[in-house]
């Protein structure tokens, strides 16, 4: 198969059709339509084999992770996903691999109604770069820089699960496909509806890709504030605690990456509005701390400050 055949067979058709796509795959560029009053939100994530995922990871999981990472960025902006492009570097064009990759991509694109509008297909070491676009009503996007002293800090889901799986790959331990921690690494569930629902409620938001401590510290720094958070309030899955033990589970929840959960701040008076919203969410939602005026993120346990988590060591 040459480049043209790969595109025609796997990427030119089969993805959601949208009437805001004027011109999709096939020309030099794609044309899409925005309504007046909308702002375009553009995000991009490059996933390189050996750096961001083990090359042996199932093709469907590679595709899912690549699109999910982008959807998670859109979620953190509160955007509704619409279109994406795919730049694919492949060492060789293997039919079974490409079929599984395209199927994994299509499953997630179908779920969120995303049209694939273009890309590039080249020979090279395995890497998947997706650029996704979504929209928000002008002025309503969630940003990192709006947190204010006194706001409450929340996190969705159970951070640390994907970090444990990553560690297992790095250590050369096999993971079975039905292992819940493998599932959390391979098939993250981007919090798209949750992010969109937070517009008008959250003052700032970020998605967790580099670990809760690092990402929350980024949000606080962007907002020119600090935070105090309770280590024991950070939710951990039963699967993680069982496998890693309490101490390691806590470390992973703070420093493991690839969670694709949302971390956000809300003013105290929005707490009941948030609780009403989150009652229908499929994921956990947990308050882990508060925003304070003094810069920096400090973790506490039983009222005592803990040393800053060690984030210097990241695999690959
Ligand atoms: P050009 O050389 O003009 O960049 P290409 O031959 O690379 O065009 O691509 C032809 C068409 O196929 C373009 O519309 C491009 O956006 C699309 N395309 C290429 N690779 C992919 C891909 N992996 N997924 C989706 N569309 C793709
Ligand atoms: Mg090209």
Give, for ligand 1, the residue of 7, 66, 85, 104 to mutate: max count of ligand atoms closer than 8 Å to Cβ. Answer: 7
User: First CA to last CA across the chain, in angstroms?
Assistant: 32
Is the residue at 129 inside a domain? yes
Same domain, 216 and 80: no
Do 147 and 291 contact (CB within 8 A), yes or no? yes
Give, for ligand 1, the residue of 5, 105, 116, 119 to mutate: max count of ligand atoms closer than 8 Å to Cβ. Answer: 119
pLDDT, residue 315, reads 43
Is the residue at 314 inside a domain? no
- pTM score, whole prediction: 0.96
Same domain, 238 and 283: yes
The CATH number that applies at residue 162 is 3.90.650.10
Same domain, 165 and 128: no
What is the CA(127)–ligand 2 centre distance, in A? 15
Same domain, 100 and 224: no
Is the residue at 310 inside a domain? no
Q: Is 116 in the pocket of ligand 1 (CB under 6 A)?
A: yes
How far is residue 68's CA from residue 73's CA, in Å, rounded to a whole number?
9
Is the residue at 143 inside a domain? no
Nearest CA to ligand 1 atom 13: 26
- Ligand number, closest to the Cα atom of 11: 1
Same domain, 28 and 123: yes
**Which regions in the chain score pLDDT beneath 70?**
312-316
Using DSSP bridges, classify how beta strands 262-266 and 152-156 pair: parallel, antiparallel or unpaired. Answer: antiparallel
Same domain, 158 and 287: yes
pLDDT, residue 148, reads 98
What is the CA(265)–ligand 1 centre distance, in A? 40
Same domain, 161 and 37: no
Q: Is 127 in the pocket of ligand 1 (CB under 6 A)?
A: no
Nearest CA to ligand 1 atom 2: 28
The CATH number that applies at residue 46 is 3.30.1330.10
Same domain, 99 and 203: no
Same domain, 66 and 116: yes
The count of structural domains within the chain is 2
Neighbours of 134 (CB within 10 A): 29
Same domain, 133 and 7: yes
Is the residue at 313 inside a domain? no
Same domain, 64 and 205: no
Is the residue at 145 inside a domain? no
What is the CA(121)–ligand 2 centre distance, in A? 7
Nearest CA to ligand 1 atom 9: 120
pLDDT, residue 316, reads 42
What is the CA(122)–ligand 2 centre distance, in A? 8
Same domain, 299 and 183: yes
Range of the domain at 93: 3-137
Is the residue at 100 inside a domain? yes
Beta bridge partners of 204: 265
Nearest CA to ligand 1 atom 16: 118
Place of tokens 């937070």: 198
Is the residue at 22 inside a domain? yes
């Amino acid at each position: 198969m040459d480049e043209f055949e790969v595109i025609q067979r796997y990427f030119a058709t089969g993805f959601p059709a949208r009437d805001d796509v004027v011109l999709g795959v096939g020309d030099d560029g794609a044309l899409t339509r925005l309504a007046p009053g909308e702002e375009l939100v553009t995000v991009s994530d490059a996933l390189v084999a050996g750096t961001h995922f083990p090359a042996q990871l199932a093709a469907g999981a590679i595709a899912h992770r690549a699109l999910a990472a982008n959807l998670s960025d859109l979620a953190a902006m509160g955007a509704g996903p619409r279109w994406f492009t795919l730049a694919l570097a492949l060492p060789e064009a293997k039919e079974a691999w490409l079929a599984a990759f395209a199927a994994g991509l299509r499953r997630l694109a179908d779920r969120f109604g995303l049209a694939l509008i273009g890309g590039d297909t080249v020979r090279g070491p395995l890497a998947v770069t997706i650029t996704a676009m979504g929209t928000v009503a002008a002025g309503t996007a969630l940003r990192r820089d709006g947190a204010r002293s006194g706001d409450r800090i929340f996190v969705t889901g159970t951070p640390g699960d994907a970090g444990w799986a990553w560690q297992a790959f790095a250590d050369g331990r096999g993971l079975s496909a039905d292992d819940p921690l493998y599932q959390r690494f391979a098939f993250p569930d981007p919090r798209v509806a949750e992010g969109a629902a937070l517009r008008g409620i959250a003052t700032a938001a970020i998605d967790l890709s580099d670990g809760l401590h690092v990402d929350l510290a980024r949000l606080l720094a962007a907002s020119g504030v600090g935070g105090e958070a309770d280590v024991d309030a950070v939710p951990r899955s039963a699967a993680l605690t069982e496998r890693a033990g309490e101490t390691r589970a806590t470390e992973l929840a703070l420093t493991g990456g690839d969670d694709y959960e949302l971390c956000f701040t809300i003013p105290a008076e929005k707490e009941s509005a948030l609780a009403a919203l989150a009652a229908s969410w499929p994921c956990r939602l947990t308050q882990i701390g508060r925003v304070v005026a003094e810069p920096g993120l400090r973790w506490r346990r039983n009222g005592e400050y803990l040393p800053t988590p060690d984030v210097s060591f990241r695999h690959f």
